[in-house]
């Protein structure tokens, strides 16, 4: 047993070293490409020419899908669906967009050269009169990622993450030891940089993603992980990039099933869909951020009757809820990849009601932890 453990540790160490070496090589290559691009732009301007660049447009879903549509949509996780040409020649919005891209790119070049990190808000305050708002910087970062065929983390532009983690897992993040197994019911914040993780160990049987921190705290208070070999994660609402990258990393490294628990309303469903299919804004990176095999554990519209919840737990769908649900139902990926999910959302619309995960507490304060989650996983009652 000791020999096997040593071989396992040696293999993990080799893997960590290989990943670090690959990261260094990717950074060096990206830096050379950025320098070459900037040099080309300077030479073009110096020669009196106006440099033009082509930015591909990506779309992982559209909202015009219809099973009766005569022609399929062109949405893809891999291939672009169009292009934008940015040039300094024409005095229009595209010129401003290229100007912003070049300024952000110079900041990225400096970050990579100095091996430093910053947030998009940091970048915004370097030229606030030109960038106007953080969203402009955000778009430029997307353009740079598409132009150089890389992801945001490759640019050393990072944000703070809101994710919480607990359960049967431990790892090293840089110089910091994160050992959730010392107290499986205590919350830990997860790393922003996946590249800093090494020595990942887990004895969990599955990963549970919950929509809200209140539900996460309910499970922690009930000592859910003490009685169930699992890892529990919450992105506190819509998941940010570090949350989605970390979840994808765990799935790839640990090969565990992932269950997701969200409110029975259109916004909970949209959060669930973001984990499985990715977001439209980051469509170019959806394949690296999404978790295609995530399983929808609940809560379902049908759970209200199945678990005999009181009528006072139900809330009527607002006009805004209905518009949101109708726009989600029209998304092409539900027609192509998840018809059962679409049917459940249609049932919600038809009944015109919604309810929150916390409504299960009407049965008993710990019903979610003691009965609902364990039973549904054991019985395979998920989509």
For 107-154, write each residue's pLDDT tens digit. Answer: 999 999 998 889 899 999 998 988 989 999 999 999 999 999 998 889
Whether residue 236 is predicted with pLDDT greater than 60 in this model: the reply is yes
**pLDDT, position 134:** 92
**Among 230, 251, 218, 214, which Cα is nearest to 181's?**
230
Q: Among 58, 61, 125, 249, which one carries the catalytic annotation?
A: 125
CA 228 vs CA 207, 224, 314: distances in Å: 11, 6, 29
Question: Can you say whether residue 118 is alpha, beta or left, with left for phi > 0 and alpha for psi between -120 and 50 degrees?
Answer: beta
For 9-56, write each residue's pLDDT tens digit. Answer: 555 556 667 777 888 898 999 999 999 999 999 998 888 888 888 999
CATH of 164-379, one of 3.40.1160.10, 3.40.1360.10, 2.40.50.100, 3.20.20.80: 3.40.1360.10
**10: exposed, middle or buried (C-beta count within 10 Å: 0-12, 13-18, 19+)?**
exposed
Q: How many other CB atoms sit within 10 Å of the CB of residue 325?
A: 21
Tell me if residue 125 is catalytic.
Answer: yes
Whether residue 3 is predicted with pLDDT greater than 70 in this model: the reply is no
Q: Which pair of structure tokens corresponds to residue 45?
A: 């301007």
- The domain locations on the chain are 2-49+90-155, 164-379
**314: exposed, middle or buried (C-beta count within 10 Å: 0-12, 13-18, 19+)?**
middle
Mean pLDDT score of the chain = 88
High-pLDDT (> 70) share of the chain, % = 91
**pLDDT, position 69:** 52
Most confident of 49-53, 264-268, 305-309: 264-268
**pLDDT, position 123:** 94
Task: Determine the Cα angle at 382 with ends 376 and 383, to 5°.
Answer: 175
Alpha-carbon gap, residue 328 to 344, rounded angstroms: 12
Q: Which pair of structure tokens corresponds to residue 351?
A: 């009944």
Given pLDDT bands bounded at 50, 70 and 90, which one contains residue 67? very low
Between 170-179, 333-342, 350-359, the lowest mean confidence (pLDDT) is in: 170-179
Buried b (16+ CB within 10 A) or exposed e, 351-370: eebbbbbebbeebeebbbbe
For 89-116, write each residue's pLDDT tens digit. Answer: 666 655 688 889 999 999 999 999 998 8
Alpha-carbon gap, residue 317 to 98, rounded angstroms: 43
Q: What is the mean pLDDT of residues 203-223?
A: 96
Whether residue 1 is predicted with pLDDT greater than 60 in this model: the reply is no
Alpha-carbon gap, residue 378 to 227, rounded angstroms: 14
Q: How many other CB atoms sit within 10 Å of the CB of residue 79?
A: 10
**pLDDT, position 15:** 63
**Among 97, 194, 82, which Cα is nearest to 140's?**
97
Query: What is the DSSP code (8-state) at residue 172?
Result: E
Whether residue 240 is predicted with pLDDT greater than 50 in this model: the reply is yes
């Amino acid at each position: 047993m000791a020999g096997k453990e040593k071989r396992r540790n040696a293999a993990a160490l080799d893997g960590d070293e290989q990943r670090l070496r690959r990261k260094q090589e990717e950074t060096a290559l990206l830096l050379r490409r950025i320098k070459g691009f900037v040099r080309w732009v300077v030479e073009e301007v110096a020669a009196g020419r106006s440099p033009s660049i082509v930015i591909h447009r990506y779309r992982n879903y559209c909202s015009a899908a219809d099973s009766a549509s005569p022609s399929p949509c062109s949405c893809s996780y891999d291939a672009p669906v169009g292009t934008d040409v940015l040039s300094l020649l024409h005095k229009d919005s595209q010129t401003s967009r290229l100007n912003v891209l070049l300024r952000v790119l110079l900041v990225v070049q400096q970050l990579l050269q100095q091996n430093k990190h910053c947030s998009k808000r940091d970048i915004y305050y370097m030229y606030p009169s030109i960038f106007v708002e953080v969203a402009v910087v955000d778009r430029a970062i997307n353009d740079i990622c598409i132009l150089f065929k890389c992801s945001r983390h490759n640019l050393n532009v990072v944000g703070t993450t809101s994710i919480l983690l607990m359960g049967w897992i431990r790892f090293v993040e840089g110089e910091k030891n994160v050992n959730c197994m010392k107290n499986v019911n205590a919350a830990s914040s997860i790393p922003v940089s996946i590249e800093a993780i090494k020595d990942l160990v887990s004895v969990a049987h599955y990963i549970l993603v919950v929509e809200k921190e209140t539900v996460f705290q309910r499970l922690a208070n009930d000592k859910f992980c003490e009685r169930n070999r699992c890892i529990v994660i919450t992105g506190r609402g819509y998941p940010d990039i570090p949350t989605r990258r970390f979840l994808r990393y765990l799935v790839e490294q640990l090969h565990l099933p992932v269950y997701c628990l969200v409110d029975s309303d259109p916004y909970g469903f949209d959060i669930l869909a973001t984990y499985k299919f990715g977001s439209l804004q980051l469509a170019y990176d959806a394949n690296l951020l999404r978790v295609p095999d995530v399983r929808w554990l609940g809560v379902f519209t049908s759970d209200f009757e199945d678990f005999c919840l009181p009528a006072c737990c139900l809330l009527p769908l607002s006009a805004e809820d209905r518009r949101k649900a109708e726009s989600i139902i029209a998304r092409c990926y539900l027609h192509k990849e998840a018809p059962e999910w679409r049917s459940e959302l249609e049932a919600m619309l038809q009944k015109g009601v919604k309810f929150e995960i916390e409504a299960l507490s009407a049965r008993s304060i710990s019903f979610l932890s003691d009965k609902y989650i364990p039973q549904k996983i054991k019985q395979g009652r998920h989509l």
